[in-house]
Structures are given as structure tokens and as C-alpha cells.
Amino acid sequence: MAKAKRPIVRIDEEKCTGCGLCVSPCAEGAIEIRDGKARVIKEELCDGAGFCIGTCPEGALTVEEREAEEFSEEAVHKHTQSNPRNYIPQKCFRCGRNEDELPIMPCRSAGESLWVCTRCLPALIHG
């Protein structure tokens, strides 16, 4: 597969504790826990969107711009069809609603990686 300079997730193995919180937010299935650490299993599966970043309590994930295999929707489709994901439902830290009730998104508050629903987000932003 061809390489191109593009955004891609980087995982700092020194900081990673292997908690697995970054696995579920990756819709493409690019992150798995292997040998007790989170790893991008194939560069072509990572779209570089970074939805996983806010979930890491250790700050081990970043998005960097570097030479990497090009993102492939076809590879993602094949991977997700043959590897059903472990689903860890997330809840809003303010109201407790889960992502089946309302859309939720990762956020950082007071140094913690949390999830917030779209109903609670305005109060979090505006106080």
C-alpha cells in the first residue's frame, strides 16, 4: 500500500496502561490491546480523526502528521466485518445517560478524560 504524509494516531507505550478505554471510540477498529498495551494494529485502518484521544486517562494518545500507509475504507470494511468489536458503552459524566439515549463525546475536565452528552455540553461550556 502507498504511503503518504497524513494525520495518524500515535500511542506512547511508556504512558499507556492498557486500560482499553481508547478501543471503543475507534469506529474503524484500528486500536486493539496487545501484550497489555494499546496499539494501532494497521496504519491503513486509522483515519486520524482522534476520537480515541480524549478517552485516555494517561494522555498516551496524540495525533501526529507523518508518513503512513494511506487510510483505506475498504480495509476498514473488511476488518470490521471479520473482527466484531468489543463494545464498551460510555455514559455522560454529568447526567449518566448513555450513548444509546443521546450522542456523547469525549472531553477533558479538571484533568480527567470523560464523556459528555449533547444535552449537558452547553452547561459545561457556558457554566
pLDDT digits (tens, 9 = 90+) for 21-36: 898 888 899 999 999 9
Average pLDDT of the residues in 54-59: 89
Where in the chain do CATH 3.30.70.20 domains reside?
3-82
Name the 3-class secondary structure at 98.
strand
Band (18; pLDDT cuts 50, 70, 90): very high
What Rg, from alpha-carbon coordinates, does the chain have? 15
Q: What is the pLDDT of residues 65-98, one digit of tens each?
A: 999 999 999 999 998 888 776 666 788 999 999 8
Model pLDDT, residue 47: 94
For domain 3-82, say whether CATH 1.10.3720.10 is its number. no
Q: Which is nearest to 67 in space by CA: 43, 49, 47?
A: 43
Q: Judge if pTM exceeds 0.85.
A: no
Share above pLDDT 70 across residues of the chain, in percent, rounded to a whole number: 96
Burial of 119 (0-12, 13-18, 19+ CB in 10 A): middle
